């Protein structure tokens, strides 16, 4: 029997729909579980997690032949977020859950051996992709529901275990969709403890004036000078005079931070403009992103729709900075 379950892969900053196609052969004499479609190490190990999770949840895992294809097969799959989709594919192929419940749905989550569903990173861009592709429902780990619910017009179902999910699919104990607080996104965010008030900086009026001009006109600014000149202090204070992120900007920034697993479970939506201060010894991959498994770098983490700043300490004399600032004041 063939069952098709939808999940999602995150490549760079975007999500891509992945079909988990599970074929079950009950007439096979030798048991096997073949996983194809360019799976990474963590994905290849998912068959063992799925087997133990299904059995420890009181469900059947027939010891026969399975072929699981992750389509499209030309995309590398990494991470444990495919566990839940593979387990649901096995249950559907062995006629333990109704096939019609898999239509227009997406399953995301990592499995524990006891059947519980654990947190995975990148849930927000996955849910965003599901909304764009016209899916109706996304099943996510319970602790990731607040993050996924930032995407509107799609039902987010928080699940804690495979057993709870199977009961929901049979409508025995339905799970209510997660409801985000609509007023939370409209409230002004609280300032972080590391926030520096622009008014508390004493002196350096010419630099402060240049920062005000850059903030008002949405300009880039390059600050050069020896260590200790106050570049990082004033750049950190710049966020205090910038407007808060718009809902669209906040969603873009939060999607990026979700990929690198840097969101708070209590308040997943980032509404303050990010400030990043990478060390001057940072590698090129750490700065611009990349790696064997591509992930965002510091430039992407500092990015918003309108602002992106990068600071770098150099040996340029402070008098050159004063000259540049004076010319900026003259133009303004």
Q: Please list the ranges in the chain whose pLDDT falls under 50.
A: 305-332
Rounding to the nearest 10 degrees, give the CA dihedral for residues 22, 25, 30, 36.
Answer: -20
**Dihedral-angle region of residue 171 (phi above 0 means left; psi in -120 to 50 means alpha; beta otherwise):** left
Cis peptide before 42, with omega less than 30 degrees from 0?
A: no
Rounded to whole angstroms, the Cα distance separating 282 from 257 reads 19
Give pLDDT, residue 279: 87
pLDDT tens-digit readout, 284-303: 999 999 888 888 999 899 87
CA distance 121 to 118: 10
> What pLDDT does residue 311 have?
35
pLDDT score at 168: 97
Assigned token pair, 301: 């983490």
In a 3-state reduction of DSSP, which class is residue 67? strand
Q: How much is the pLDDT for 185?
A: 55
2-169, CATH topology level? Ribosomal Protein S5; domain 2 (3.30.230)
Q: Measuring CA to CA, which residue among 98, 105, 84, 103 is closest to residue 155?
A: 105
What is the biggest distance separating any 2 CA atoms in the chain, rounded to whole angstroms? 84
Q: Rounded to an integer, what distance in angstroms lies between the CA atom of residue 196 and that of residue 29?
A: 69
What is the Cβ-side half-sphere exposure of residue 249, based on CA atoms within 13 angstroms? 15
Q: What pLDDT score was predicted for residue 184? A: 58
* Pairing verdict, β 14-25 and 65-71: antiparallel
Q: Report the mean per-residue pLDDT for the chain.
A: 86
Sign of CA dihedral 69, 70, 73, 79: negative
DSSP designation for 153: S
| φ, ψ dihedrals at 85, nearest 5° | -65, -40
Residue 198: DSSP 8-state? G
pLDDT of residue 240: 82
């Amino acid at each position: 029997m063939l069952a098709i379950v939808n999940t999602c892969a995150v490549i760079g900053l975007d999500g891509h729909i992945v079909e988990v196609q599970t074929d079950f052969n009950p007439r096979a004499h030798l048991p096997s579980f073949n996983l194809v479609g360019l799976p990474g190490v963590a994905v290849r190990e998912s068959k063992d997690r799925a087997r133990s999770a299904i059995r420890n949840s009181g469900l059947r895992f027939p010891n026969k032949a399975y072929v699981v294809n992750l389509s499209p097969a030309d995309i590398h799959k990494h991470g444990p977020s495919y566990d839940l989709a593979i387990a649901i594919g096995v249950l559907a192929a062995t006629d333990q859950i109704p096939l019609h419940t898999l239509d227009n749905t997406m399953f995301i989550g990592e499995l524990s051996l006891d059947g519980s569903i654990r947190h995975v990173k990148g849930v927000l861009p996955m849910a965003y992709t599901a909304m764009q592709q016209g899916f109706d429902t996304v099943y996510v780990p319970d602790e990731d529901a607040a993050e996924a619910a930032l995407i509107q017009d799609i039902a987010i179902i928080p699940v804690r275990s495979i057993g709870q999910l199977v009961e929901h699919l049979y409508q025995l104990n339905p799970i209510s969709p997660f409801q985000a607080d609509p007023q939370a996104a409209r409230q002004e965010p609280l300032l972080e403890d590391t926030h520096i008030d622009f008014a508390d900086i004493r002196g350096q009026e010419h630099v402060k004036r240049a920062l005000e001009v850059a903030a008002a006109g949405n300009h880039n600014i390059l600050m050069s000078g020896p260590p200790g000149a106050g570049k990082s202090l004033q750049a950190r204070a710049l966020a205090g005079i910038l407007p808060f992120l718009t809902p669209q900007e906040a969603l873009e920034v939060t999607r990026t931070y979700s990929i690198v697993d840097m969101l708070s479970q209590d308040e997943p939506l980032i509404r303050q403009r990010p400030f990043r201060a990478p060390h001057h010894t940072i590698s090129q991959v750490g700065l611009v992103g990349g790696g064997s498994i591509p992930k965002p770098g510091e430039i992407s983490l500092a990015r918003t729709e309108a602002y992106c700043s990068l600071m770098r300490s150099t040996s340029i004399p402070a008098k050159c900075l004063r000259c540049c600032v004076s010319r900026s004041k003259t133009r303004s």
